[in-house]
């Protein structure tokens, strides 16, 4: 672990983790992450951002075109934020760096958030967004982080159940795969996690679920059927409360015959690749993911 990572872990515990532990209004959380994104997360020079609509449902989205984009697969990426906050604006810089490395265009949908739009609004929007791009000539690569990682895994299961065209591959950073919170690292890593306060998880989930079954596979893809899906790449860090979500979803996928690449890193903050401008480990992870994505696009 780099000195920068040690410093950032300490800083996050003193600042962002405390904010997440105390804030009760999603609007406060939304404002905080939007401000942080503007200050610390910057896309490569020459990146073009366009507001578009996807499919018959007209899902609003941001399209990212990197410098020197080439014809090929499209990255469809779903942002994290506990289904309550986050947006394409907060994640577009990280995805723009991935787009620049791969030479691929990317699309980030504005899926609906709770508590204003409770479950199953988000998975419905995700499916509608995918229908809008699934016939892309070069194919589609799905991606997401945290809640967006859970959302993209739930989408992958829905794609198979509905018999839709499969994506080329799917990648997830620290996915939230189990809203029943049965993973042991919610307890064992509660203090070690530099960013996420475990004690708020159930409360925030109920703001999204509002009485719906947490074990519904669209909410908790840990319980989904992925038969027939393409390769999946998952990463998480040893100190995350979501580590067991990543471990168990990787095991579930492998038991169902899916080709899984599972990468565990030591002592890094939740969804560290978003901190590409601050952490060498973030840039290294994006480099490794780029290699995986480009290997798929050549198949």
Instruction: Give the residue numbers annotated as catalytic, written as ranges.
Output: 146, 240, 270
Give Cα separations from 27 to 5, 24, 58, 271 (angstroms): 29, 9, 25, 21
CA-CA-CA-CA torsion sign (194, 281, 146, 107): positive
Give dist(CA 5, CA 278) in Å, integer. 8
CA-CA-CA-CA torsion sign (21, 176, 52, 273): positive
Phi–psi pair at 165, nearest 5 degrees: -60, 130
Give dist(CA 181, CA 275) in Å, integer. 26
Give the chain's end-to-end CA distance (angstroms, integer). 34
Write the burial class of residue 295 (CB in 10 Å: 0-12 exposed, 13-18 middle, 19+ buried): exposed
Give dist(CA 49, CA 99) in Å, integer. 12
């Amino acid at each position: 672990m780099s000195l920068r990572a040690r410093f950032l872990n300490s800083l996050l515990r003193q600042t962002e983790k405390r904010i997440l532990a105390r804030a009760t209004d999603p609007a406060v959380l939304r404002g905080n992450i939007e401000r942080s994104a503007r200050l610390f997360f910057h896309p490569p020079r020459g990146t073009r951002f366009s507001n578009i609509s996807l499919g018959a449902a007209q899902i609003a989205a941001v399209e990212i075109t990197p410098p020197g984009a080439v014809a090929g697969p499209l990255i469809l990426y779903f942002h994290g934020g506990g289904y309550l906050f986050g947006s394409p604006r907060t994640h577009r810089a990280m995805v723009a760096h991935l787009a620049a490395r791969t030479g691929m265009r990317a699309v980030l949908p504005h899926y609906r958030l709770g508590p204003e739009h409770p479950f199953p609004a988000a998975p419905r929007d995700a499916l509608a967004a995918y229908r809008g791009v699934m016939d892309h000539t070069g194919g589609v690569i799905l991606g997401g982080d945290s809640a967006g990682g859970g959302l993209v895994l739930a989408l992958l299961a829905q794609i198979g159940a509905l018999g839709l065209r499969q994506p080329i591959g799917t990648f997830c950073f620290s996915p939230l795969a189990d809203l029943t919170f049965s993973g042991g690292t919610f307890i064992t890593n509660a203090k070690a996690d530099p960013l996420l306060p475990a004690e708020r998880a159930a409360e925030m989930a109920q703001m999204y679920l509002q009485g719906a079954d947490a074990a519904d596979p669209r909410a908790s893809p840990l319980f989904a059927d992925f038969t027939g899906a393409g390769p999946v790449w998952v990463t998480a860090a040893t100190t995350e409360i979501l580590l067991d979500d990543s471990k168990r979803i990787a095991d579930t996928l492998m038991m169902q015959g899916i080709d899984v690449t599972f990468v565990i890193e030591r002592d890094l903050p939740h969804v560290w690749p978003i901190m590409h401008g601050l952490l060498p480990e973030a840039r290294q992870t994006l480099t490794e993911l780029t290699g995986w994505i480009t290997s798929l696009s050549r198949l």
